[in-house]
Amino acid sequence: EHDKPAPEDATCADGSVCPTEETCCQNEEGGYSCCPYPSAACCSDKLHCCPNGYTCDVEAGLCQSGNDFMAMLAKTPSKPQVNNVACLDGSSCSTGETCCENQEGGYSCCPYESAVCCSDRFHCCPKGYTCDVGIASCIKGSEVLSWASKVSTIPTEEPANDVTCPDQSTCPSGSTCCESQQGQYACCPLPKATCCSDKLHCCPDGYTCDVGAGTCTQGNELLAWFTKQPAMPEPTEINVSCPDGSACPSGETCCKNQQGNYACCPLPKAVCCSDGLHCCPEDYTCDVSAGRCNKGQDTTALFKKHPVKAVAPTLKDVTCPDQSTCPSESTCCEDQEGHYGCCPMPQAVCCSDKLHCCPDGYTCDVEAGRCNMGKNFVKMFAKQPATPAPSMNDIVCPDKSVCPSGQTCCENQQGGYGCCPTQQAVCCSDKLHCCPAGYTCDVSAGACNRGNDIITMLTKQAATPAPADNEAVTCPDQSSCPSGETCCEDQQGGYACCPLPQAVCCSDKLHCCPKDYTCDVSAGRCNKGNEFLAIFSKRPATPKPVESNTVCPDQSSCPSGQTCCENQQGGYGCCPFPSAVCCSDKLHCCPAGYTCDVSAGTCNRGNDIITMLTKQAATPAPADNEAVTCPDQSSCPSGETCCEDQQGGYACCPLPQAVCCSDKLHCCPKDYTCDVSAGRCNKGNEFLAIFSKRPATPKPVESNTVCPDQSSCPSGQTCCQNQQGGYGCCPFPSAVCCSDKLHCCPAGYTCDVSAGTCNRGNDIITMLTKQAATPAPADNEAVTCPDQSSCPSGETCCEDQQGGYACCPLPQAVCCSDKLHCCPKDYTCDVSAGRCNKGNEFLAIFSKRPATPKPVESNTVCPDQSSCPSGQTCCQNQQGGYGCCPFPSAVCCSDKLHCCPGGFTCDVAASRCIKGNDVLSLFSKQPSKPAPEVRAVTCADGSQCQSGMTCCEMEGGVYGCCPLPKAVCCSDKLHCCPHGWECDSGSCTALNSKLTITWFSKVPATKPVPAQSITCPDHSTCSEGSTCCEVGQGKYGCCPTVNAVCCADKVHYCPQNTVCDLVNQKCIGSNNDEPLRMVGH
């Protein structure tokens, strides 16, 4: 009966009607109810009304007009109008209502005709009013109304035809197809909508998208934008077959991708773009740089291709990256085990906890357990397990390893293959990760990119060896580890097994970590970003069964499956690969198919770059089976290295081609450097405990090599002339003697004296130092020292602190300045540090031992009848007497304190003896032994001279005493010369040589007087001309000089006018110092 309103009915703002003579009043629901009075007053509680002329007193529930009160009237429901208003989404509102967009992207009904829809999408206002969202009211001038809430629309009875999208998917009638981020299409719930550039949202027709603000704009009007919903896939039809046998859904086009395979363009008869990623509609051209498709002035965004897949008519499940499946309209999300679970909605957002998911357009709030979109939120969804993929044939990789069906073989860093858990995956350049088809690898960011779609890179898993082989993992030394484990070098130079595939071998050579982790040996853990695992221990590898070896050109051999490569010594080393490439540095090699980059230390094959491999020592031919011969002809076991020891011989390092450390006690593996102070071997960031050497086996005694001077060198060594004109021994047969007469080189090398090296092409080694030759057996004499003491053959005489000589237990040794220690030849003494230095080499300093005294021989008589030991030389002293120089035929220095060996010259200013390049410290003379006491000599005038002097006439006819026996009296009557010399203008010249000395001054002779004695304080006596000095306990001794200085130690004395220096054991005078003298008893 209400199909058509009666003329007398009142039509309300929402299109409902009230009976005639009634008034429409807004109710609490935002609609209208009927007040049973004409022109009634509608109360603010939206429940009651009052007659015209009354005002509402809501608190009292009364209608008031002056003093007239009546109860408020309750409103009655209005009646809806039958005719509907059609909304844009195909729904409808009742006649007299207005369609307003709601927050879900659809439409609701505002209970006013031609109403104003408010921007919050919940409320509306009558025509002519404006929405004031801040005070939740409708305003028209000074009039303010509460705004109305919208109500649901009436669904359309007859569904209209769906909208077909370019990829043949469909959207509901009244929707718009918009491209999604996946390159397919989704549905905007508005007709003729504007598709936003983020490919997630859309706006009504006539509006523009403001992506930054998340709004739709038309002039000053702002609306929240709309979220697109998934489109319905096209019903399964016959697939389009691609040239490589893959297929694309009907209505799409096969286009070649960047991997050379095929992907699907979601358009029929599409144009495939040259970048292998995009496509354009038919009759369009690709503008890849601008990211668009052009047809005249008509442009559209480029379309992205998606992976090909087999379309099964009976199976519409969603296939996950691990080939498990989820029901249609679900989303695959990775779970905590690295597999996939199913989120029960299309294009869902996978949450970071790997347990939950949220609808498309929402964000996960894991802590709160909800999904947020603006002010809207819903409870998070739990994922369901995916259905495992049915078993299919495995994929065989180029190296015959296999990956599960639906995965992709990708080359790994070891030159083998790993498995990427997606079909037709993109293999990343780091050879560790991969991305799904259609994505590109961003290795630096660890991401897979496809436009705005960014996911975490996938990690490859180890491939399974081919079933036919079923072999263990072979290590470089041909030992083996179980399949799925990794060979890692151990501390002994062999290999052990890490119980992980493609593991990281730690620098301590004891532990390992999973792939993509780094070793933190000090903390005992494996690190990957913020992830930490306990470090893994290695276990022994299985030794390789004995096989026939590879014989090298020099008849040495390498293990089967390895390659002989020439080394720097002209022999051969072993590269641990078959048919390997030998590098030009003769130290390294690369696997077959690679090229050596010696400067970078890498092996290259295209973009595949690995570290160069170090060759190992080859095994000598079995026929010889000889030990390693050291330079001193001692020997070490095969596979070991000879290293010089601290005694100048050789010891054995238990490693092939080892590095010998400077302390001559330890060694390190080849290519490592010695850190003696830290007790370790270093190679980059790798550290090993240093190795100790063991004694070499002495060489059986053989006949020696006799040198031209009849000295001899050990058999197999070479005689080379030394700087002294004799011969030294070079520790090689047929060696090359260097021009410096100190060093030598092996046969075939040339000496580079300035660089201190032996050169043969690019092979450069340090020069060898010659050792002292052994005197001929017939002589077999000890080494005679300058003081005629002796040291054993092969030792060196060095001056000691007492002025004599001691023996250094080294041939041609360097004598240290402290006169206690010595160092080997060519080393320098570092007395303060207690070591011997040679470049970067250091040895502990050597101590000297006493020399053997020379047997007593007849003494040498000096001109003043004092005497020196046999083999020494008399040299005049500053007192006019003689001292003893501890050399035969010595040179007496002009300062009358020092001397030099025969053949040397004195450099008094520098305190040294010089003979060419040979420099020695000056030698101090020792007091001579006084001549035996004889009677005084009586002169012609009756005066007397002391025994051992000569009377010489002086001016005035008197006589003076020349302090020499049988002296020659000079004509100037003032001076004299020794017997056998002649006077020559201020000097004395030897009759049989050109040797000259300063002439002697005469002293006055004395008249004979009775001999008298001096009485000391203890009543003992000393001869006249002596001095009494206390010797302890109140006793006195005699000092044989007048006015002697008695030293405080009561043992020594010094001459008149000098001072005792007990610390330095010297008498300090005005002219020169001399040793302290002993007081006689």
Task: Calculate the alpha carbon distances from 642 to 353, 634, 693, 759, 812 in Å.
Answer: 62, 9, 9, 20, 24
216-220, 937-941, 1062-1066 — which one is most confidently predicted on average? 1062-1066
- Average confidence (pLDDT) over 900-925: 79
Using a pLDDT cut of 90, give the percent of the chain over it. 1
Indicate if the pLDDT at residue 7 is higher than 50.
Answer: no
Q: What is the pLDDT of residues 554-580, one digit of tens each?
A: 677 888 778 888 888 877 888 877 888
Residue 623's φ and ψ, nearest 5 degrees, are -60, -35
Q: What is the pLDDT of residues 180-214, one digit of tens each?
A: 877 777 777 677 888 888 887 777 787 788 877 77
> Taking the CB of residue 627, how many other CB atoms lie within 10 A of it?
18
State the amino acid at position 533 in one-letter form.
L
Q: How confident is the model at residue 311 (pLDDT cuts 50, 70, 90)?
A: very low
State the amino acid at position 98 in one-letter form.
T
Q: What is the pLDDT of residues 485-534, one digit of tens each?
A: 889 888 888 888 887 788 889 998 888 888 888 898 888 888 887 766 66
Residue 459's φ and ψ, nearest 5 degrees, are -95, 135
- Average confidence (pLDDT) over 136-162: 64
DSSP 26-94: E-TTSSEEEESSTTPEEPTTSSEEE-TT-EEETTTTEEEETTEEEEPEEPEE-B--SSEEE-TTS-EEE
**Domains of the chain, first to last:** 10-77 (2.10.25), 84-152 (2.10.25), 163-230 (2.10.25), 240-307 (2.10.25), 318-385 (2.10.25), 395-462 (2.10.25), 481-540 (no CATH), 557-605 (2.10.25), 628-695 (2.10.25), 705-772 (2.10.25), 783-850 (2.10.25), 860-924 (2.10.25), 937-1004 (2.10.25), 1013-1078 (2.10.25)
Q: What is the pLDDT of residues 448-484, one digit of tens each?
A: 888 766 777 777 777 776 544 346 788 877 788 888 7
State the pLDDT at residue 83.
Answer: 55
Specify the length of the chain in residues: 1081
Beta carbons of 240 and 249 less than 8 angstroms apart: yes
Indicate if the pLDDT at residue 308 is higher than 70.
Answer: no
Instruction: Give 26's strand partners.
Output: 32
475: left (phi over 0), alpha (psi -120 to 50) or beta: beta
* Higher per-residue pLDDT: 415 or 822: 822
Q: How confident is the model at residue 744 (pLDDT cuts 50, 70, 90)?
A: confident
* Higher per-residue pLDDT: 779 or 419: 419
State the pLDDT at residue 287.
Answer: 85
Q: What is the pLDDT of residues 684-695, one digit of tens each?
A: 777 666 777 777
- Average confidence (pLDDT) over 811-835: 85
> Taking the CB of residue 220, how many other CB atoms lie within 10 A of it?
5
Strands (E), 908-995: 912-915, 918-921, 923-924, 926-927, 937-938, 944-945, 950-953, 959-962, 968-969, 975-977, 981-984, 987-990
State the pLDDT at residue 305.
Answer: 65
- Average confidence (pLDDT) over 336-354: 83
* Residues 6 or more apart in contact with residue 985 via CB below 8 angstroms: none
* Residues 6 or more apart in contact with residue 142 via CB below 8 angstroms: none
**Angle, alpha carbons 951-957-960 (nearest 5°):** 30
State the amino acid at position 686 in one-letter form.
E
* Higher per-residue pLDDT: 726 or 736: 736
State the pLDDT at residue 236.
Answer: 40
pLDDT averaged over the chain?
A: 77
Indicate if the pLDDT at residue 59 is higher than 80.
Answer: yes
State the pLDDT at residue 660.
Answer: 92
State the pLDDT at residue 466.
Answer: 52
> Taking the CB of residue 298, how many other CB atoms lie within 10 A of it?
10
* Residues 6 or more apart in contact with residue 110 via CB below 8 angstroms: 14, 93, 97, 98, 99, 100, 117, 124, 148, 150
Strands (E), 490-577: 495-498, 504-505, 511-513, 518-520, 525-528, 531-534, 536-537, 539-540, 550-551, 557-558, 563-566, 572-575
Report which of 616, 526, 629 is spatially closest to residue 575, judged by C-alpha positions.
616
Q: How confident is the model at residue 226 (pLDDT cuts 50, 70, 90)?
A: low
Q: How confident is the model at residue 661 (pLDDT cuts 50, 70, 90)?
A: very high
| DSSP state letter for 490 | -
- Average confidence (pLDDT) over 711-739: 82
- Average confidence (pLDDT) over 811-838: 84
- Average confidence (pLDDT) over 123-135: 81
Report which of 135, 113, 115, 148 is spatially closest to residue 15, judged by C-alpha positions.
113
* Higher per-residue pLDDT: 1001 or 115: 115
Indicate if the pLDDT at residue 1 is higher than 50.
Answer: no
* CA atoms of 737 and 757, how far apart (whole Å): 13
* Residues 6 or more apart in contact with residue 171 via CB below 8 angstroms: 162, 163, 165, 177, 185, 186, 187, 188, 231, 232
Residue 1015's φ and ψ, nearest 5 degrees, are -95, 125
- Take residue 834 and report the two structure tokens written for it: 């207690």
- Average confidence (pLDDT) over 1006-1020: 70
- Average confidence (pLDDT) over 910-919: 79
Quick check: helix, strand or coil at residue 450?
strand
107-111, 273-277, 991-995 — which one is most confidently predicted on average? 273-277
State the pLDDT at residue 815.
Answer: 92
State the amino acid at position 853 in one-letter form.
P
State the pLDDT at residue 506.
Answer: 92
Beta carbons of 419 and 462 less than 8 angstroms apart: yes
* CA atoms of 88 and 99, how far apart (whole Å): 8
* Higher per-residue pLDDT: 708 or 446: 446
Q: What is the pLDDT of residues 749-775, one digit of tens each?
A: 889 988 888 888 877 777 777 777 776
| DSSP state letter for 359 | -
- Average confidence (pLDDT) over 393-413: 77
Q: Which of 290-294, 304-308, 535-539, 803-807 has the lowest mean pLDDT?
A: 304-308
State the pLDDT at residue 505.
Answer: 92
- Average confidence (pLDDT) over 61-74: 75
- Average confidence (pLDDT) over 917-922: 70
- Average confidence (pLDDT) over 30-36: 81
- Take residue 635 and report the two structure tokens written for it: 């020997």
Beta carbons of 1046 and 1055 less than 8 angstroms apart: no
Instruction: Give 1013's strand partners.
Output: 1023
Indicate if the pLDDT at residue 622 is higher than 60.
Answer: no
Q: How confident is the model at residue 150 (pLDDT cuts 50, 70, 90)?
A: low
Indicate if the pLDDT at residue 737 is higher than 60.
Answer: yes
In the Cβ-directed half-sphere of 550, how many Cα atoms lie within 13 Å? Answer: 19
- Average confidence (pLDDT) over 600-610: 81
Report which of 887, 678, 864, 878 is spatially closest to residue 803, judged by C-alpha positions.
887
- Average confidence (pLDDT) over 75-81: 61
